[in-house]
Chains A and B, each alone.
Chain A
Amino acid sequence: MSIMNETKSASFAVHDKQASLPRHHAVIFIGLLAAGLIAPFLLAPIFVMKVLCFALFACAFNLLLGFGGLLSFGHAAFFGSASYVSAHAAKVWGLTPELAILCGTLSALVLGVVIGALAIRRQGIYFAMVTLAFAQMVYFFSLQAGFTGGEDGIQAVPRGDLFGLLSLNSDLVLYFVVFAITAAGMLLIYRIIYSPFGQVLKAISMNEQRAVSLGYRVNRYKLTVFVLSATLAGLAGATKAIVFQLASLTDVHWSMSGEVVLMTLIGGVGTVFGPIVGAAVIVTMQNYLATFGAWVTIIQGVIFVFTVMLFREGIVGVISKALKKPF
């Protein structure tokens, strides 16, 4: 509860006054686009793709927490189940990658409707616990169901040919496909945030009772944003399965739900670009600190503690406050 109150006061202090699209966002988007186009030539494409997948996942999560005011502790369920479905579709049904990703995303949508419809009936910590409980069910399903391969996961998923034409076996070609998917997902999230729907969401998360008294059907809005967030998290998971050619229990485990919270908090809850920064920070740590062994988790923990103690608005939140502009 306290986290959510913090985030509200942190993010909306910035966002309140500006309902229209801030102009400097266009500049940032162009900057990100340029960075995304150059990145695979400077860094390992596979690494950048991983950052992109997690950035989209964190942005989807941020849509729910930062703008809908709903803290889900079970987002791994959507991310992971979509990655399983996508991997299965590509490997066993032999679908082309775009159809496999679509299948995965749709499965997350369906799961989002089911879990969301039940979870939004509760607020605060209870909401978080209900989502966690459902995510655990999805985890046990994944552990037991035959097609997921248990702890071996689904391995050797073919990357296939995009639209049956373009082979994705080259990391660079795949990179631009993943980049396009992520960019589309993020633009969609951005559009949602600054739509009238997004404004109503903001109103609901700030004062639900008042929104009800103004005549809004609050639950519909909550369910819609939940499903949107779940679907986009699914899109990220489904894409990741194609990138790494595997789907495993890691993606449905509760610690993945925790990781996405961490990414969003470090980057800045309720900021548009924060989750991208947060995802980049965490994924970079996991990759480049891997040689330090046990220190990865300890360093992650220390960074998390520092973030919570010193700058609760997250990296981007702090910059945003200093420049007095919403990012």
Chain B
Amino acid sequence: MKKTGFLLTSFAALLTAASASAQDIPVKIGVLTDLSGVYADASGPGSVFAAELAVEDFTRQSPGLNVEVISADHQNKGDVASSIARRWLDDDVNAIVDIAASSTAFAVHELLRDSNALALFSSAASSGLTGEDCSPHSVHWTYDTWMLAHGTGRAVLEAGGDSWFFIAPDYTFGHTLVEQTSAVVQENGGEVLGSVSHPFPGQDFSSFILQAQASGAKVIGLANSGQDMINAVRQAREFGVTQGGQSIAAIMLNIHDVHSLGLEASQGLLFASVFDWNLNEGTREWSARFEEKMGTKPSMMQAGVYSAVLHYLKSVEATGTTDADTVVTNMKDTPTDDPLFGKGRIRADGRKIHDAYLFKVKEPSASEGPWDYFEVVSTIPADLAFRPIEDGGCPLAQ
């Protein structure tokens, strides 16, 4: 009797201690993104909402943690991002999520290297984040330039597009995409007939499209994004590129781009991505919740924010701390699983890997309504979708 009583009390004590420690952990997540500029559609307020959804879903299952989501507009300026992040670090923010644009992403990446907070990049594209300058406190979530270049490059080659001509914006993102895609094309027996750089931002693509047509390449690779790509696709259509037997591969295409282009102009475009709202039951359900509040379907970056925050919170709960090193180790040790990206894992270099897809934009007649734009052509398994860890040169991987 005495013994049972003792056991009961100690058990009760243990229980209260456990729940107390979980209650005591305040978790602060900062969504640092572009709320007013060019990336506001694909990331922006939608990313903030995605983070809130993740917290809502997580706390419903395990109400232990006291999670707070804050957000700020980095205005795509490195110094603004850096000073906000520093202020957040002083306010005990434990994780900074999203971070559109590469100069701001690198600023946060470097700042958090020696801090006690984690950076979860879901909007930044540069594969440099998990390359030679990788950081133990950075996890690169959704996609990167290598994945886009290889996904699109290889899949289009397999479909018979073995000669390429690139139209790229004249800045680092464009040059990197052309370089990486050309490498894939050439490695796999295709040939690159030429490439042309256009000023950024570009309005008039006529001369570049004429060059691409004259090159006789089977595939015209568009290495630009956003409004530039929309302009290029629209004008390529006016010049009758597809009617002339050439196909267009968009290396970076977002659902919002197709929404503003319309299916008439964008039908038949091939591109690689990691997410579409219409992939399966899980993505459809989540996207419906997203659309209810935001009025649009989510982009892959916004889906990435949800997935990243969810996995982060799981690790905080499992380790019972917000200490950056402990949590990131747990995040890398635990396989990821969520309704949006399915099963995946985080590698030692901070790269999160999951399946990628080759999508094709539907014909207007095949579409069942607004936002029903993409069909899956093929699935790229997670291990092939991202740059092999040994090729990145990240010191953490050795």
Query: What residues make up the interface of A, taking CB atoms closer than 8 Å to B?
Result: 44, 46-47, 50, 143-144, 149-153, 155-156, 240, 244-246, 248-251, 286-287, 290-294, 296-297
Given A248-B103, A294-B35, check contact A44 B77 (CB 8 Å).
Answer: no
B72 on interface, CB distance cutoff 8 Å: yes
Contact status A155-B79, CB under 8 Å: no
Extra contacts, 10 of them, besides A152-B128, A155-B109, A286-B75 (Cβ < 8 A), are A50-B83, A150-B173, A244-B82, A244-B83, A246-B78, A246-B103, A248-B79, A293-B45, A294-B73, A296-B73
Q: Which residue of B lies closest to A47 (CB)?
A: B83
Cα A155 to Cα B131 with chains together (Å): 14
Given A152-B128, A155-B107, A291-B72, check contact A244 B78 (CB 8 Å).
Answer: yes
B106 on interface, CB distance cutoff 8 Å: yes
Given A248-B78, A290-B84, check contact A153 B110 (CB 8 Å).
Answer: no
Inside 8 A of B40's CB, which chain A residues have their CB?
Answer: 294
Given A240-B79, A244-B79, check contact A293 B103 (CB 8 Å).
Answer: no
15 contacts between A and B (CB under 8 A): A50-B79, A144-B170, A153-B103, A156-B110, A156-B133, A246-B79, A246-B107, A286-B80, A291-B72, A292-B73, A293-B35, A293-B73, A294-B35, A294-B40, A296-B73
Inside 8 A of B111's CB, which chain A residues have their CB?
Answer: 245
Contact status A296-B103, CB under 8 Å: no
Given A246-B103, A290-B73, A290-B74, check contact A151 B84 (CB 8 Å).
Answer: no
Closest-CB distance, B96 to chain A (whole angstroms): 13
Contact status B87-A294, CB under 8 Å: no
Contact status B75-A155, CB under 8 Å: no
Contact status A150-B73, CB under 8 Å: no
Inside 8 A of A240's CB, which chain B residues have their CB?
Answer: 79
Q: Which residue of A lies closest to B173 (CB)?
A: A151
Cα A155 to Cα B170 with chains together (Å): 20
Contact status A287-B102, CB under 8 Å: no
Cα A46 to Cα B172 with chains together (Å): 29
Contact status A150-B171, CB under 8 Å: yes
Cα A150 to Cα B74 with chains together (Å): 19
- How many positions in chain B have a CB within 8 Å of any CB in the partner chain? 39
Closest-CB distance, A120 to chain B (whole angstroms): 30
Inside 8 A of B74's CB, which chain A residues have their CB?
Answer: 290
Tell me the chain B residues, 91-132 only, with Cβ under 8 Å from chain A. Answer: 101-103, 106-107, 109-111, 126, 128
Inside 8 A of A297's CB, which chain B residues have their CB?
Answer: 36
Q: Which of B36, B80, B102 contacts A293 (CB 8 A)?
A: B36
Closest-CB distance, A43 to chain B (whole angstroms): 10
Closest-CB distance, A194 to chain B (whole angstroms): 33
Contact status A151-B107, CB under 8 Å: no
Q: Which residue of A lies closest to B106 (CB)?
A: A155
Q: Which residue of B lies closest to A54 (CB)?
A: B79
Query: What residues make up the interface of B, taking CB atoms closer than 8 Å to A?
Result: 35-36, 40, 44-45, 70-80, 82-84, 86-87, 90, 101-103, 106-107, 109-111, 126, 128, 133, 170-173, 175, 200
Q: Which of B80, B171, B200 contacts A290 (CB 8 A)?
A: B80
Cα A245 to Cα B70 with chains together (Å): 25
Inside 8 A of B73's CB, which chain A residues have their CB?
Answer: 290-294, 296
Inside 8 A of A152's CB, which chain B residues have their CB?
Answer: 102-103, 106, 126, 128, 172
Cα A273 to Cα B107 with chains together (Å): 32
Given A46-B83, A246-B103, check contact A150 B36 (CB 8 Å).
Answer: no
Cα A293 to Cα B86 with chains together (Å): 18
Given A291-B72, A294-B35, A294-B36, check contact A246 B106 (CB 8 Å).
Answer: yes
Contact status A47-B87, CB under 8 Å: yes
Inside 8 A of B107's CB, which chain A residues have their CB?
Answer: 153, 155, 244, 246, 248
Inside 8 A of A50's CB, which chain B residues have their CB?
Answer: 79, 83
Cα A127 to Cα B343 with chains together (Å): 61
Inside 8 A of A156's CB, which chain B residues have their CB?
Answer: 106, 110, 133
Q: Which residue of B lies closest to A169 (CB)?
A: B114
Cα A149 to Cα B78 with chains together (Å): 13
Contact status B45-A248, CB under 8 Å: no
Inside 8 A of B83's CB, which chain A residues have their CB?
Answer: 44, 46-47, 50, 244, 287
Contact status A143-B103, CB under 8 Å: no
Inside 8 A of A293's CB, which chain B residues have their CB?
Answer: 35-36, 44-45, 71, 73
Cα A297 to Cα B351 with chains together (Å): 35
Cα A46 to Cα B80 with chains together (Å): 11
Q: Which residue of A lies closest to B87 (CB)?
A: A44
Cα A286 to Cα B82 with chains together (Å): 12
Q: Which of A46, A250, A292 contacts B78 (CB 8 A)?
A: A250
Closest-CB distance, B207 to chain A (whole angstroms): 19
Q: Which residue of B lies closest to A293 (CB)?
A: B35
Q: Which residue of B lies closest to A286 (CB)?
A: B80
Cα A95 to Cα B92 with chains together (Å): 34
Cα A155 to Cα B113 with chains together (Å): 13
Given A244-B79, A292-B73, A296-B36, check contact A151 B87 (CB 8 Å).
Answer: no
Closest-CB distance, B31 to chain A (whole angstroms): 10
Contact status A290-B72, CB under 8 Å: yes
Closest-CB distance, A152 to chain B (whole angstroms): 5
Q: Which residue of B lies closest to A157 (CB)?
A: B110
Cα A287 to Cα B82 with chains together (Å): 10
Contact status A151-B133, CB under 8 Å: no
Q: Which of A46, A246, A248, A292 contacts B86 (CB 8 A)?
A: A46
Inside 8 A of A292's CB, which chain B residues have their CB?
Answer: 73
Contact status A245-B110, CB under 8 Å: yes
Q: Which residue of B lies closest to A149 (CB)?
A: B172
Contact status A246-B77, CB under 8 Å: no
Cα A250 to Cα B79 with chains together (Å): 9
Inside 8 A of B80's CB, which chain A residues have their CB?
Answer: 286-287, 290
Cα A144 to Cα B170 with chains together (Å): 8
Given A150-B171, A155-B110, check contact A287 B78 (CB 8 Å).
Answer: no
Closest-CB distance, A129 to chain B (whole angstroms): 20
